[in-house]
Structure 1
Amino acid sequence: MPPLARFAITAAEIDRVVAAFYAAVRRHPMLAPIFAAHVEDWPAHEAKIARFWRNAILLEGGYNGNPMAVHKAAGNVHPGMFDGWLAVFDATLARELPPETAAQWSALAHRIGRGLRYGLVDSAKTASGVPLLR
């Protein structure tokens, strides 16, 4: 028997949220330039991120990547940027999903965002060694 999903959602709903989120990202004043610097093929990127979320939520497998390494290697992603990312993501979830499902996915996204944010703190330090959190 396959493992149970973290919460009730379909692969099609995940794909729809990912597409809507990245449409919002491409219009966002802070996020658009950051993503544009790294994403050359939006359909391929969206498909990869949808696989990430289907793996995280539906436990499908099929995602092969290391989000922490990617965010560290980007060079222009800083811990404080995750608040904006999560605000756009939460707004997308609220528009696209029933409230309970949106809340459950949001909680997971915020947990993942905290992990990424903390992982970037070591690479975002001033010359004196003080973490740059914005």
Structure 2
Amino acid sequence: MTNPLAQFDVSRDEIARVVARFYARVRRDPVLGPVFAAHVRDWPAHEEKIARFWANAILRERVYDGNPMQVHKAAQDVQPEHFAVWLDLFDEVLAEELNEETARRWSALAHRIGRGFKVGLEMRAPPGSVPKLR
């Protein structure tokens, strides 16, 4: 492992490849494609930003600055049920692109993050109303 702080062994090139292949599938997906198309104007820039997110989360590189929860909450067409579709596509790409152990560990991390986003969106309230705090 090249980075002693990394959660598991994966390279920046592998991260970029997984992100690119994943978003190629997202663009073709009948559920997620239209949602992403409404928000992403520059796919290469988006993929680079998400690759930095994963480098931050996995490799502990401090190359990402953003608040993805706020971005997802602000996008009113992003719904909690989208995360199951997102995770299924992501798991397919991980299994095809990485060795089994790396895919398993990255998938576990993605599922933890996805659960957090899903809960955040479930608590999202319409503008001007009181949030649901259950």
What is the TM-score normalised by the length of structure 2? Answer: 0.90
Aligned-partner Cα distance in 2 for 1:71–1:45: 14
Which residue of structure 2 aligns with residue 123 of structure 1? 124
What is the CA distance between 1:124 and its match in structure 2? Answer: 5.7
What is the CA distance between 1:123 and its match in structure 2? Answer: 1.5
1:97-112 residue pairs with structure 2 within 5 A?
97-112=98-113
3-state SS of 1:16 partner: helix
Check if 1:76 corresponds to 2:91: no
Q: Which runs of 5+ in 2 are unaligned?
A: none
Aligned-partner Cα distance in 2 for 1:46–1:95: 19
3-state SS of 1:94 partner: helix
Report if the CA contact (8 A) 1:14-1:54 is conserved: yes
3-state SS of 1:5 partner: coil
Which residue of structure 1 aligns with residue 44 of structure 2? 43
Aligned-partner Cα distance in 2 for 1:91–1:100: 14
Look up the equivalent residue of 1:74 and give its one-letter code: A
3-state SS of 2:51 partner: helix
Which residue of structure 1 aligns with residue 90 of structure 2? 89
Aligned-partner Cα distance in 1 for 2:48–2:100: 24
3-state SS of 1:79 partner: coil
Q: Which runs of 5+ in 1 are unaligned?
A: none
Q: Which runs of 4+ in 1 moved over 6 A?
A: none
The number of residue pairs the alignment matches comes to: 126
Aligned-partner Cα distance in 1 for 2:12–2:123: 35
RMSD: 1.5
Report if the CA contact (8 A) 1:79-1:124 is conserved: no
User: Deviations 1:30-66 (Å, cap 9, x if unpaired)?
Assistant: 0100000000000000000000000000001110100
Which residue of structure 2 aligns with residue 11 of structure 1? 12
What is the TM-score normalised by the length of structure 1? Answer: 0.90
